[in-house]
Amino acid sequence: MTEIRLASLQGGATVVGSETLAVFRKTLRGKVCLPGEAGYDEARTIWNAMIDRHPSAVVRCRGAADIMRAVSFAREHGALLAVRAGGHNIAGNAVCEGGLLLDLSLMRGVRIDPVSRTARVEPGAILGDFDREAQAFELATPLGINSTTGVAGLTLGGGFGWLSRKFGLAVDNLISADVVTADGKLVQASATENPDLFWALRGGGGNFGVVSSFEFRLHPIGPNVLSGLIVHPFARARELLAGYRQAAANAPDELTQWVVLRKAPPLPFLPADVHGKEILVFAVCYVGDERDGNRALEPLRGLGTPIADVVGMQPFTAWQSAFDPLLTPGACNYWKSHNFVELSDGLLDVLVSQFAQLPTEECEIFIGQLGGAAGRVAPDATAYPHRNANFAMNVHTRWREPADRQRSIDWARKLFTEAAPHATGGVYVNFMPEDETDRVSSAYGTNYAHLMALKSKYDPGNLFRLNQNVRPSAQRSVA
């Protein structure tokens, strides 16, 4: 075995001798993978194909002890450290170039307690893992909309999906977390233990440690929910968006209604002559009685004449994975995002004009409806501050040919710029691409200064910097 060179936190390199590496390997239940070894490429390959980085070594963890040893190893050697869980984040910070990659993707355990209605979830679990286990007991918690999204990254950034208007964000349903901090120690964070760390974890991203286990509160859901798509031609998009705005304002918490603007994929319920044409889609989910749900959907269903209405009762797990075919790994992706209190007339004009210039077949704009229970939490109750945002827009560009890269990115940036006057100025941290480091303070708003102080307490050396990074403040501790 030869020595390895790890990119250092100072920008140079640190050399780890073969004997040191051999000793480190023996301490692990998992394994160390070097370039060319089995597991290396699997660990470094993530959802967004824009990201193609080569760490000098990968630690594939099997438990909290492996995480503790890997964090200590990185700190002791001053090595650049990346932490990969589900590997679905748009920015691609889960992988570093030349440093040490701490890979949690093999830790996918989910344990449900149906009596207490709680779940224990390991950091490598994806939403599909969680939903399958929880739905065996007809339970769920608010998470995202794509079954291949990682539970860990989604939760640490705030986490919203189809259940958030009824039950709040993922962080509002987090009871506790086991965390390996920068000193390599395992601590628990909850409302009663290390409450300041618990506050920071609920929206502060991966800035404060590596979570080895999440504990969530669960709610009775399913096994079936009223959900599906209402598809309209794009020609009446402006009128439909105005009608949607009114329907959304009057919707009960149980009903979530999202908007998707894209070209029609070849779905079996759409006529062949619509495939590849611009469409407006209402994606809906109602948590509750089917009759009440159909009644709540009447205002939305009363808008225009849809091409298709495929809303009905279906398994919650099926609805949670309904968008998976549109978000498969292997394509290049770039996002731009805004939060909105309301969908102003000016914003609707921007959306309609820019949507007509979609750069590729797979690009889309989606508007997620928030509010409800998620909006009735104080902005400073958790690190996630955007409780006034009733809508989050994600401009999602997606391409496979190199020639489409720049025009896709340019289109997203132009739409983002034109929409900015109508937005809050805030942004959901999980929707930020790697080139938006200047928006980190906007992601945390009035909570940013407190997060900087807590960063100084829990990670003064900024070991956990490969994220939308909150830098330590000059203050070394907080009360």
Domain with CATH 3.30.43.10 in the chain: 4-103
Paired tokens of 436: 């938006």
Residue 303 has pLDDT above 50, yes or no: yes
Percent of all residues in the chain with a pLDDT value above 90, rounded to a whole number: 98
Element at 280 (helix H, strand E)? strand 278-286
Span 326-377, pLDDT tens digits: 999 999 999 999 999 999 999 999 999 999 899 999 999 999 999 999 999 9
pLDDT of 104: 98
Average pLDDT over residues 135-155: 97
DSSP 207: G
Average pLDDT over residues 187-213: 98
pLDDT of 477: 39
pLDDT of 203: 98
The region that residue 228 occupies, defined by phi over 0 for left and psi between -120 and 50 for alpha, beta otherwise, is left
d(CA 41, CA 43): 5
pLDDT of 478: 39
pLDDT of 470: 98
Span 401-447, pLDDT tens digits: 999 999 999 999 999 999 999 999 999 999 999 999 999 999 999 99
CATH topology for 4-103 is 3.30.43
Q: Which CATH number fits domain 110-221: 3.30.465.10, 3.40.50.10790, 3.40.50.300, 3.50.50.60?
A: 3.30.465.10
d(CA 90, CA 83): 14
Residue 476 has pLDDT above 70, yes or no: no
Residue 270 has pLDDT above 70, yes or no: yes
Span 220-248, pLDDT tens digits: 999 999 999 999 999 999 999 999 999 99
pLDDT of 2: 75
Separation in Å, CA 14 to CA 9, 79, 80, 366, 461: 9, 7, 10, 44, 17
Span 259-268, pLDDT tens digits: 999 999 999 9
Residue 474 has pLDDT above 90, yes or no: no
Paired tokens of 424: 């809050």
Chain-centroid distance, C-alpha 453: 25
Name the one residue in this structure whose structure tokens are 């860990």: 152
Residue 395 has pLDDT above 50, yes or no: yes
- pLDDT band at residue 475, thresholds of 50, 70 and 90? very low
d(CA 45, CA 468): 20
User: Helix, strand, or coil here: 14?
Assistant: strand
pLDDT of 466: 97
Span 75-111, pLDDT tens digits: 999 999 999 999 999 999 999 999 999 999 999 999 9
- pLDDT band at residue 1, thresholds of 50, 70 and 90? low
Domain with CATH 3.30.465.10 in the chain: 110-221
d(CA 211, CA 189): 10
Who contacts 175 (Cβ-Cβ below 8 Å, separation ≥6)? 118, 190, 215, 216, 217
Average pLDDT over residues 301-314: 98
Domain with CATH 3.40.462.20 in the chain: 224-437
Strand partners of residue 397? 334
Residue 252 carries which side chain, given as an amino acid letter? P
CA dihedral (273, 277, 280, 282) in degrees, to 10, reads 50
Cα 302–Cα 303–Cα 309 angle in degrees, nearest 5: 75
- pLDDT band at residue 120, thresholds of 50, 70 and 90? very high
User: Helix, strand, or coil here: 340?
Assistant: strand
Spatial contact of 210 and 102, defined as CB atoms under 8 Å apart: yes
Question: For 91, what's the count of Cα atoms within 13 Å in the CB-facing half-sphere?
Answer: 28
Spatial contact of 270 and 276, defined as CB atoms under 8 Å apart: no
Helix axes 345-355, 405-419, angle to 10 degrees: 170
Separation in Å, CA 328 to CA 191, 323, 456: 37, 9, 38
Architecture of domain 224-437: 3-Layer(aba) Sandwich (3.40)
Paired tokens of 132: 């399958």
Q: What is the pTM of this model?
A: 0.96
Spatial contact of 412 and 69, defined as CB atoms under 8 Å apart: no
Question: In the chain, how long is the greatest CA-to-CA distance?
Answer: 71
